[in-house]
């Protein structure tokens, strides 16, 4: 009996111990769950702040993306040369042709005296060579060149450009080009058909020109720097000046007009103008833009800015469509008829569609770009008709935007 009572008592004690362990584990689990929830909430708030900050930051643009520093620019180069090695697709060397004259002059400089009868090949083409000399390009640097046919050659595929000096606007030679052309198009023809893909009369030479002369320009020692806006705007110019002044802590920048921001080099950057420009171009501002509608009538493309607004206006669009169908019918005598001839009778069907299902649509004042597009689409009109409507709305004074026709 005693042993049985002792066993029951021990069993009860074990149950109490188990219940105590369960309670402790439950409390520990709640603590862990509360800690996990707090950690998860903190992580979510951090992620939200990061996303919000990134969104706010992405709304602004870097100064380097909306301005150009005066003097830091490319220079255009151009030259005239000859492309040889063409597969009978070059210029026609007729008497007095500039390609023939250029070929004769080149051969004469090399000590060759060609005759007119010997220059009847079509493996040579006269070309214009263009290139852009980057800012601060040094001697020995290489730049890409574009080669375009000047005469009546059909293709520059497989050709090689001979040594061609590239001149600047001042007439000085700044680079020399030569090399094998890379042509993206081709042309093939037969007696009855011709196939042309791309532009076979134009090609490129990667790193095809070597810089021989440098453009003298230095940033060291400059006391004033001009920042030129790519899209001129008074508001954007003022925001750029304010951002620069806030960064430098002085009123070193001021907008002089809608295109230019004048920057006075601070004393701390006197010998480090490059460092000043590097720090400034990383600043972010939100550029302002003019409400503008761009129209390309040839392709029917319409591009409208975000700030385009429209006043109250009623628009109705209806088109008159006349469809004429010609169908020839044959009239002939009956079977076994002794008289009569077979004739052709014209049958014309004319259909007129005046677009009567088109209705008058009213656009409320101050509608957004999306509402404007939805309102015009509700009329069921295409891009070309929409161009005419936008021009008419602008003429009525209801479109608060500038229309630019390309």
- Residue pLDDT, tens place only, 109-135: 888 887 777 677 889 999 999 999 999
Q: How confident is the model at residue 24 (pLDDT cuts 50, 70, 90)?
A: very low
Nearest Cα neighbor of 210 from 245, 258, 177 is: 177
**Which pLDDT score, from 0 to 100, does residue 330 have?**
75
Residue 341 has pLDDT above 70, yes or no: yes
**Which pLDDT score, from 0 to 100, does residue 277 have?**
92
Which residues lie closer than 8 Å to 219 by C-beta, 6 or more apart? Answer: 273, 274, 277
pLDDT > 90 fraction of the chain, expressed in percent and rounded: 36
Of 98-112, 248-262, 289-303, the range with the highest mean pLDDT is: 248-262
> Pairing mode, if any, of strands 292-296 and 402-405?
parallel
Span 236-256, average pLDDT = 94
Pick the more confident residue, 345 or 238.
Answer: 238
**Which pLDDT score, from 0 to 100, does residue 20 have?**
47
**Which pLDDT score, from 0 to 100, does residue 3 have?**
43
* CB-based burial label for 147 (10 Å; 0-12, 13-18, 19+): buried
- How many residues are recorded in the chain? 406
Contact of 277 with 225, CB cutoff 8 Å: yes
Span 171-178, average pLDDT = 96
Residue 357 has pLDDT above 70, yes or no: no
What DSSP string runs through 240-297?
A: HHHHHHHHHTS--EEE-SSSEEEEEPPGGGTT-HHHHHHHHHT-EE------EEEEET
Alpha carbons within 13 A on the beta-carbon side of 365: 3
**Which pLDDT score, from 0 to 100, does residue 139 have?**
94
* CB-based burial label for 84 (10 Å; 0-12, 13-18, 19+): middle
Residue 392 has pLDDT above 70, yes or no: yes
**Which pLDDT score, from 0 to 100, does residue 187 have?**
77
**Which pLDDT score, from 0 to 100, does residue 96 have?**
66
The whole-model pTM stands at: 0.65
Which residues lie closer than 8 Å to 103 by C-beta, 6 or more apart? Answer: 82, 93, 114, 119, 124
Domain ranges, ordered by start, for the chain: 75-211, 224-285, 290-318+356-406
- Of 148-157, 222-231, 253-262, 383-392, the poorest mean pLDDT is in 383-392
Nearest Cα neighbor of 310 from 391, 364, 380 is: 364
Rounded Cα gap, residues 316 and 389, in angstroms: 9
**Which pLDDT score, from 0 to 100, does residue 40 have?**
41
What does pLDDT average to over the chain?
A: 78
Residue with tokens 């006043």: 311
Q: How confident is the model at residue 355 (pLDDT cuts 50, 70, 90)?
A: low
Rounded Cα gap, residues 61 and 92, in angstroms: 53
Q: How confident is the model at residue 319 (pLDDT cuts 50, 70, 90)?
A: low
């Amino acid at each position: 009996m005693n042993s049985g009572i002792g066993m029951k008592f021990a069993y009860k004690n074990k149950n109490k111990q188990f219940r105590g362990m369960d309670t402790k584990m439950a409390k520990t689990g709640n603590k862990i769950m509360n800690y996990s929830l707090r950690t998860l909430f903190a992580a979510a708030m951090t992620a939200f702040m990061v996303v919000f900050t990134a969104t706010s930051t992405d709304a602004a643009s870097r100064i380097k993306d909306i301005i150009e520093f005066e003097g830091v620019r490319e220079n255009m180069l151009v030259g005239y040369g000859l492309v040889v090695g063409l597969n009978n697709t070059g210029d026609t060397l007729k008497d007095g042709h500039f390609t023939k004259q250029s070929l004769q002059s080149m051969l004469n400089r090399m000590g060759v005296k060609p005759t007119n009868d010997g220059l009847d090949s079509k493996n040579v083409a006269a070309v214009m060579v263009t290139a852009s000399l980057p800012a601060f390009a040094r001697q020995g640097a290489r730049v890409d060149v574009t080669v375009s046919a000047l005469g009546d050659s059909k293709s520059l595929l497989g050709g090689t450009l001979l040594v061609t000096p590239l001149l600047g606007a001042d007439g000085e030679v700044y680079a020399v080009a030569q090399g094998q052309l890379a042509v993206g198009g081709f042309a093939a023809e037969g007696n009855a058909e011709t196939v042309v893909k791309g532009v076979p009369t134009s090609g490129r030479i990667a790193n095809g020109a070597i810089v021989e002369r440098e453009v003298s320009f230095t940033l060291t020692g400059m006391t004033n720097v001009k920042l030129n806006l790519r899209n001129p705007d008074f508001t954007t110019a003022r925001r750029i000046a304010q951002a620069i002044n806030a960064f430098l802590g002085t009123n070193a920048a001021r907008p002089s007009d809608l295109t230019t921001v004048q920057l006075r080099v601070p004393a701390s950057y006197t010998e480090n103008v490059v460092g000043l420009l590097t720090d400034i171009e990383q600043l972010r501002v939100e550029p302002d833009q003019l409400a503008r509608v761009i129209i390309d009538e040839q392709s029917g493309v319409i591009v409208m800015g975000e700030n385009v607004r429209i006043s109250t206006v009623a628009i109705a669009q209806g088109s008159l469509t006349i469809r004429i169908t010609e169908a020839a019918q044959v009239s002939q005598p009956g079977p076994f008829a002794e008289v009569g001839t077979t004739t052709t009778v014209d049958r014309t069907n004319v259909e007129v569609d005046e677009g009567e299902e088109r209705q008058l649509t009213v656009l409320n004042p101050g509608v957004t770009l999306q509402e404007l597009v939805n309102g015009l689409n509700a009329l069921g009109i295409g891009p070309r008709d929409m161009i005419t409507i936008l021009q008419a709305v602008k003429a009525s004074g209801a479109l608060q935007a500038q229309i630019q026709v390309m």
